[in-house]
Structures are given as C-alpha cells and as structure tokens.
Structure 1
C-alpha cells in the first residue's frame, strides 16, 4: 500500500505564490473540507492563533490537481525568510516524446512561460533541464516527462 502525501511551501505572500504554482502546474484552489462552505470557516474552526496576532487574509492557499493525480500543495505564510537552498524541490515535467531537440524546445518554451508568470531562470543544462526559482526563490526544475505520450 502506498501512502498519499502533500507538499507544503512556506512563503511570505501566499496569494502571489499560489497564483504562480496554479499557472506552473495547472492546479486549482482546493475546495474546503466538508462540512465547511469556505476555507475561512475551516481556518476559523481551529480557534484563534496562539501568537495572538491578527490573522491575515493571505495566510495560506491550498491547491490540488483537478484530475486528482498529483499531490496537494499547501502554501503557508511564515514570518521567517527563506535563507538556504531547498532540500526538496519540485520538477515540472513537460509532456511529449520526439527527438532530443524537440523535447529541449518544449522544456525551453515551458521555462520561458514560467518566467513570464513570475519565475526566474537560474541555469540551463542544455538538452536536459532548466533550473528555476518561483517568485519567492524556491528552486524547481523544468524537464521532459519521458513517460507521457504525444
């Protein structure tokens, strides 16, 4: 039996980061868990924060794969800034087969699309993958998905 898992990203601005990752992954806002009608109701069910500070509207975002295949992605606001390289990162896999040149062209096109969405291209490993960072500096890679058809 496999274990389901979610990924969580700490951030300074959940709204900006959620918008970027929805664009990058094709994810959507995850509906609140039953019986709650909204995420705000669900968050309120936990009671007031322990630190007695006002909650902010963009404290978190919860995203999911609309097809239910990929892991959920939680994006949570934290006070601490990012200070080091990620020990775990996301690989964005570009679908389709073809020649190595065709796969590389698709990787580059996807990296450029994500750069226009707010990411930054950090390094290109020609023919293999592109290293990028999201709007808050979290590293990820863009590479081909050899398992997909097309």
Structure 2
C-alpha cells in the first residue's frame, strides 16, 4: 500500500484569483512562481486561450508544510453548505475566555478582508469553542 506524500485542497469558485488571495491573507500563504518559461502570471494568462484565462489560481504555504490550495472557476454558484471546510487553528491550546478572545481577535482581522462571521459554537463537554465564518464567496470555514 502506498502512502500519501502531499495533497491539495481544491475550491470551486467564481473568481479563483480573488478567493486565492483572500486565503493567502488568512493563512499567510503566498502565490507560487509562474510556470517555467513565464516571467509573470499575467504573461502565463495571456498565453492561454481566452476561455481559460482566469479559470484557476493557487496559493502555497511558504514553509512547505501546509497543503497547496487550488481554486478553479465553475459555472454554478454555491447552493448549500460545504461538505468539507477548513479549520483555521488560532485557538490551539487555549480554553475558556482566553480561547474566545483569540477567536474574536482573528475574526476582527478577517472581517475587513471580506470574511463574514456566521455564528459561534460555544464550548460543551466534548468540544472547545469555535467561530463559523464564510470566505468572500460564502464558503464556510471555522476559526478553531
């Protein structure tokens, strides 16, 4: 049996570059260099057929630890809750009021980027608190 060495998370969206740049800001990711033979991503885009321009974009963890995020344009909009979502781990190791303060601080940083606060889930016997958010196209994610 083989073992997985790497994986990427793929998002369907309407505006791949816009959503990718949002996630760069959220996670501290960067846009990777353009493909070999192209000085810039704009040069690469101009080389594509018109119908493919702007159809995909990616961002990567500059440390090489986190997965690559890939964003691809699809014709349909988001209709229901995502079946998969990202948990942005900003409260790891924190509990109670200290955890809530960390979640709220990150929420406050993300709101001006276009994120939307949906609802909090407060701690119970099994789970610590988290905040459900949406990215700039309405995809849910959690501040955890």
TM-score by length of 2: 0.81
Task: Specify every segment of 5 or more residues in structure 2 that has no aligned partner in the other structure, as ranges.
Answer: 124-128
Report what 1:9 is aligned to: 11
Deviations 1:51-104 (A, max 9, x none): xxx336432211000000100001111111111111100000115645532122
Residues in 2 aligned to 1:67 and 1:3: alpha-carbon distance in whole angstroms: 16
- Three-state SS of the structure 2 residue aligned to 1:132 is strand
- Three-state SS of the structure 2 residue aligned to 1:105 is helix
- Three-state SS of the structure 1 residue aligned to 2:51 is coil
Question: 1:21: how far off?
Answer: 0.5
Residues in 2 aligned to 1:11 and 1:98: alpha-carbon distance in whole angstroms: 33
Residues in 1 aligned to 2:38 and 2:10: alpha-carbon distance in whole angstroms: 22
- Which is richer in helix? 2
Report what 1:110 is aligned to: 106
Report what 2:126 is aligned to: none
- Three-state SS of the structure 2 residue aligned to 1:2 is coil
- Three-state SS of the structure 2 residue aligned to 1:94 is coil
Structure 1 position 129 matched with structure 2 position 125:
no
C-alpha root-mean-square deviation of aligned residues, in Å? 2.4
